[in-house]
Structure 1
Amino acid sequence: MATFVLVHGGGHGGWCYRYVRALLQRAGHEVFAPTLSGLAERAHLRTANIGLETHIQDVAGLLHYEDLREVILVGHSYGGMVITGAADRAVERIGRIVYLDAANPLNGQSLVDVAGPIIESTRPMGETVDGTELVLLPAPEAPLFYGVTDPADAAWMSERLTAHPWKCFEDHLDLRNEDELWALPQYHIVCTSTLATRDPELVAKARALGRLWDIDTGHDLMITEPQAVADALLEIAAY
């Protein structure tokens, strides 16, 4: 049995892994899908101080308090920033890292550094509430931004998406255990359409090691293609 920790991206919550979580659990694995501070069912806890480090501590804390070991740590989109930091903080608890159409940051980088044009495009449509700058504001058409076109999935998402503090995307990653972190096996499950935008050296290395899967679907591939995502994660668990 493997232990998966599935970390969501911007504006989402643990809810977005509902389909994938069920498939992994059906295969006999233990699955955690935490919601990061200030989002989804934790939106009422949002403050102006929530940033990338808050979310790193959310995940590192889960690993500690649940006493999880040999974890397959998965992060989607902005979640790639979070899992990189969490694995750095709790490297002894991590078995493998999986980037799910996610940011692949280096030390000192922010999400703006990694995915500038896309994430910057959301800022003009944001708003400031109680001193907190928010982006990815919920709207009926928001699922299209994430590549979700099925009407039922889009309606389900629209009821659950929440605004995200901009500070999280501007904060820079502070790694403290890089040698141990980068020694961990890394895997990449990406959307076919994003391959051309990724670091060619990273893609070539992952492909050569058999650690790259590409799925021809929208960015929220855990919603649009849950079976394909679960199948890839099960392959990773079997390595």
Structure 2
Amino acid sequence: MTVFILVAGVFTGTHVWQETAAELAAAGGEVHAVPLSGVDAGHPAPSARADLETHVEDVIAVIDAVDAASGREIVLVGHDYGIHPVLGAADRRPQRVARVVYLDCAMPQDGVPALAAVPDQTVRGQLVERLRRGETAGALAPPARDEWQRWGSTAGVSDGALDRLTALAAPQPLGTLLQPLRLTGAVATVPTTGVLCTRNGVSIDLVQRLVDFGDPRAAALTGPQVSFFELPTGHWPMLSCPAELADVLLRAAAGEGRRLRPAGAGTPPAHLRPFPLDVPELPRDRRGHVDLYVPGTEGGRRPAVIFVHGGPVPAGARPTPRDWPTLVGYARLAAAEGMVGVTLDHRLHDITDYERAAADVTAAVELVRADPRVDADRVALWFFSGGGPLTADWLTKPPAWLRCLAASYPILAPLPNWGLTDSRFRPVLGVAHAGALPIVLVRAGRETPEIAATVEAFVTAAEDCGAHLELVDVPNGHHGFETLDAPEETRPALLHAMRSVVTHLTSS
């Protein structure tokens, strides 16, 4: 018999696990939902005094209550914030724990408080300031009914369940978010399973991409003791699909799940595969964080197309994006059309880095426009994937020299788990101010539902305000179709989009 010990996330208590616990028990499991001090109603310790260490002790108490001589294996499940006390407890009782399940949560590290994983960046900033001032007492008020989305996607949660979640929500003691997690490293010996909720913006393929980029934090996820599952739902699967969650937890306890491929194993990762078109082998001219591909030495000043990569991309990724075959291919294709093709590196290493990445893109644009080979009054910007939010500034206040804005399989609104609700990086809102700026949008027909929803919202907003939007579709294309799909499927749309951009740059 497996013993499942379930630990809930911020503002929530044992009540969220009722349906999932019943399913696990019906399948023969023993289930304990941990009442966390200062959060669960009636549990001792005033919320003002509860901290992360308090909650670690709460979990340890449940572990110690399980008869060690019974031979029953313990699986610890941490949802959201709950993974922090779970890891703290497993680190002190590694021999007692058979597996740790990360349920749609971050990967906490030693010495880092849980506030680092708070998705609402406005709240996170306020907590950082309170920590800086040494104000660790008190509690954070729970969200109102219409504010849960700021803490994770509510996709799949019924109105009744959302009403109940709101009614039973409790203030979160600040000490639980501000006190650093302390790990000795013993927990590293415990097998782990990640359960990713795709409607909240994370998938196994996305994690595999981080491994392929060379992110050292992700490299450990390729070990034989690590497995993954996906659930096509939002951030609260215990409310949206409790039976499916229970099934996944049972399979995780049995050691099932998908394994990740180590970086460099097998075929090259998608971002390092060849560009699908034959393009001239022009040399690059490297200027700071910018590379220019210039078509010959004749012809005076030429229009420029600046290609802005997506992300987040780990800071240590090699090669850096401006040397990826896809971006180099696009730049050389632009040069074959008589333009100056430009690639660049920007510092979008985390969701919190959009401000810094936007500044890097602006600096790159200024460098390119100042180049004597470039017609400073004829420039196009072309964004990819997670670079999509960076279009917002250019859509909101398009300068006269910006003759076209293009985007391929872009993310055009913050995803639910990004916490960027109040940020300026919202192209869906910015397009209303685009005026006469031509916009070329390349859509992947097999885009992930979460990203496709942002594209659909953008298209609707563009149509409502009469923006000059041209749609170029790759019906069978996936996100990153240039290197994932058959060239014959992608070439026509790729060439069409490039020639549209060139037409806007060269027309009077």
Shared fold per TM-score greater than 0.5:
yes
Any conservation in 2 of the 1:73–1:83 contact (CA below 8 Å)?
Answer: yes
Partner of 1:10: 10
Which string of whole-angstrom CA distances, capped at 9 and with x for unpartnered residues, describes residues 156-195 of structure 1? 212211110122111111113x1x3101101000112134
Q: Distance in 2 between matches of 1:120 and 1:82?
A: 22
TM-score (norm 2): 0.42
Partner of 1:103: 106
Task: Tell me how far 1:44 sits from its aligned partner.
Answer: 6.6
Q: 2: distance between equivalents of 1:122 and 1:150?
A: 26
Which residue in 1 is equivalent to 2:65? Answer: 65
CA distance in 2, matches of 1:200, 1:132: 37
Q: Which of these residues, 215, 229, 238, is aligned with residue 245 of structure 2?
A: 229
**3-state SS of 2:182 partner:** coil
Seen in structure 2, the aligned counterparts of structure 1 residues 88 and 204 have a Cα distance that, compared at 3 Å, is closer
> How far 1:33 moved relative to its partner?
0.4
**More displaced stretch, 144-153 vs 27-36:** 144-153
| 1:200 equivalent in structure 2 | 210
User: Post-superposition shift, 1:211?
Assistant: 0.9
After TM superposition, list the pairs within 5 Å mapping 1:140-155 onto structure 2: 140-145=145-150, 146-148=152-154, 149-155=157-163
Q: CA deviation at 1:48?
A: 2.4
SS at match of 2:55: helix
Tell me if the contact between 2:84 and 2:108 (Cα under 8 Å) persists in the aligned partners: yes
Which residue of 187, 191, 198 corresponds with 1:185?
A: 191
TM-score, normalization by structure 1: 0.85
Specify whether residues 205 and 44 from structure 1 end up closer, same or farther in structure 2 by C-alpha distance, changes over 3 A only: closer
Higher relative contact order (CA 8 A, sep 6+): 1
Asked whether the 8 Å contact 1:8–1:76 carries over to 2, the reply is yes
Q: Which moved more, 1:134-143 or 1:196-205?
A: 196-205
Higher Rg of the two aligned structures: 2
> CA RMSD of the aligned region, Å?
2.8
Structure 1 pair 85/226, CA: closer, same or farther in 2 (3 Å)? same
- In 1, Cα distance between the equivalents of 2:81 and 2:5? 15
1:139 to 130, 138, 144: 144
Deviation readout 1:132-155 (Å, 9 max, x if unpaired): 432242523244444334211111
* Deviation readout 1:28-52 (Å, 9 max, x if unpaired): 1100001100013146732422111
Q: Distance in 2 between matches of 1:154 and 1:125?
A: 26
Identity %: 29
The amino acid across from 2:122 in the alignment is S
In the TM superposition, residue 198 of structure 1 has moved relative to its aligned partner by: 9.7
d(CA) in 2 for partners of 1:120 and 1:43? Answer: 30
Deviation at 1:205, TM superposition (A): 5.8
Note if contact 1:56-1:86 (Cα within 8 Å) is conserved in structure 2: yes
1:156 equivalent in structure 2: 164
Q: How does 1:114-133 map to 2 (within 5 A)?
A: 115-116=117-118, 118-122=119-123, 132-133=137-138
Unaligned runs of 5+ in 1: none
Alpha-carbon distance change, 147 to 198 in structure 1, aligned in 2, over 3 angstroms: farther
Matched-pair contact (CA < 8 Å) for 1:218–1:224: yes
Distance 1:38 1:98 in 2: 24
> What is the number of residues matched between the two proteins?
232
Moved more, 20-29 or 45-54: 45-54
Shift of residue 237 of structure 1? 2.1
Instruction: Name the SS of the counterpart of 2:90 in structure 1.
Output: helix
Equivalent residues of 2:75, 2:97 under 8 A apart: yes
Deviates more, 1:59-68 or 1:154-163: 59-68
**Structure 2: gaps (5+ residues):** 131-135, 212-216, 256-508
Q: CA deviation at 1:200?
A: 2.4
Cα distance between partner residues in 2 of 1:17 and 1:199: 32
